A and B are shown apart, each in its own frame.
Chain A
Amino acid sequence: MDLKAQTFTLEGVAASLLILIATYTVFQSTVILAPTWSEFENVQLKQLGYDILRIMDNQNGENSSIGGMLKNLTCNNGICSPPMEFSDNLTKILNAINSFARLEILCVENGEIRTFILDGFEKAPTPNAVRVSRFVIVENAPCVNAKVVEVRLTLWR
Chain B
Amino acid sequence: MEMNEKGQMILLFAAAVVVVVLSLSYVYAQNIIAGIESSRFMLAFPKEEIRNLCELSQQNPSQEVVSELKILCAKNGWVCNVGLGGKVEFKNVEVDYDAEDCRR
Contact = CB atoms under 8 A, between A and B. Distances in A.
Main secondary structure, interface of B, reads helix
A113 B72 contact: yes
B69 A148 contact: yes
A122 B24 CA distance: 54
B6 A31 contact: no
A50 interface: yes
Contacts of B75: 106, 113, 150
B21 A147 contact: no
B22 A134 contact: no
Contacts of A25: 22
A60 B61 CA distance: 20
Interface string A40-63: 000100000010001000000000
B65 A8 contact: no
Interface string A1-18: 001100110111011101
A18 B8 CA distance: 13
Contact-residue size bin, chain A (C-beta under 8 Å from the other chain): 35 or more
Interface in B32-70: 32-33, 36, 40, 43, 48, 52-53, 56, 59, 61-62, 64-65, 68-69
B47 to A, nearest CB: 9
Contacts of B56: 135, 137, 148
B71 interface: yes
A50 B32 CA distance: 30
Contact of B71 (A15, A50, A54, A108): A108
A23 B56 CA distance: 57
B91 to A, nearest CB: 16
B14 A19 contact: yes
B81 to A, nearest CB: 12
Given A16-B14, A35-B36, A137-B65, 12 more contacts: A4-B3, A14-B11, A22-B22, A31-B29, A31-B32, A33-B32, A108-B72, A111-B71, A113-B75, A134-B52, A135-B52, A148-B61
19 contacts: A8-B6, A12-B10, A14-B11, A18-B11, A19-B18, A19-B21, A29-B25, A30-B25, A33-B33, A50-B48, A54-B48, A108-B71, A111-B71, A113-B71, A113-B75, A135-B52, A137-B59, A147-B64, A148-B72
